[in-house]
Structure 1
Amino acid sequence: MISLTLSDFRNRQADLIAAAQREPVVVTSCGAGRRAVVVSPAFYDRALQALEDQADISAAAAARQETERISHEDLATELGL
């Protein structure tokens, strides 16, 4: 992983965006630590999909814990069918 200051990033941004296609680039600033992490679109898409998958897994686990039953008629009414 590449790590550099914001001013260095500004001076070399074309090269660093190209480097971000291979590995994350961490942009730092004095007093604030990490300010940004530049990643490839493919990495971003995989990370976003993993977060969505995890949310779905958590929701499914919570639904399995529910003990309340709902009738087909009540469900259809709730869904406006």
Structure 2
Amino acid sequence: MSQFRNQQSDYIAAAQREPIEISSRGAGRRAVVVSPEFYDRALQALEDQADVRAAADARKEPQSPFEDLMEKIGL
């Protein structure tokens, strides 16, 4: 952590190429610095994965359009 504080700009520049792990003595890994592009791609991948799971779950429970409508209006 102290090395990161002293050389912050170097670590941020390196994170543009690959994720950089920040550790602390005795505490192990404390943080990971990544580029904004990496972060955006990771978030998008998580969102895509959640959408895939939701679609798979929806396909597991077949429901007719009528049943779906009745459920939505609370009948």
TM normalised by structure 2 equals: 0.85
SS at 1:71 equivalent:
helix
State the shift of 1:32 in Å. 1.7
Aligned partner of 2:48 in structure 1 is: 53
Q: Compared with structure 1, are the counterparts of its residues 68 and 17 closer, same or farther at alpha carbon in structure 2 (3 Å cutoff)?
A: same
Identical positions, percent: 63
Q: Compared with structure 1, are the counterparts of its residues 68 and 16 closer, same or farther at alpha carbon in structure 2 (3 Å cutoff)?
A: same
- Paired residue total: 73
Q: Indicate the structure with greater helix content.
A: 2
> Which structure would you say has the larger RCO, counting Cα contacts within 8 Å and 6 or more residues apart?
1
Q: Compared with structure 1, are the counterparts of its residues 73 and 19 closer, same or farther at alpha carbon in structure 2 (3 Å cutoff)?
A: closer
* Distance in 2 of aligned mates of 1:69 and 1:32: 54
TM normalised by structure 1 equals: 0.79
Gaps of 5+ in 2: none
Match 2:69 to one of 51, 55, 74: 74
* Distance in 2 of aligned mates of 1:14 and 1:26: 14
Runs of 4+ in 1 over 2 A off after TM superposition: 67-70, 72-75
The Cα RMSD (Å) is 2.1
State the shift of 1:30 in Å. 1.8
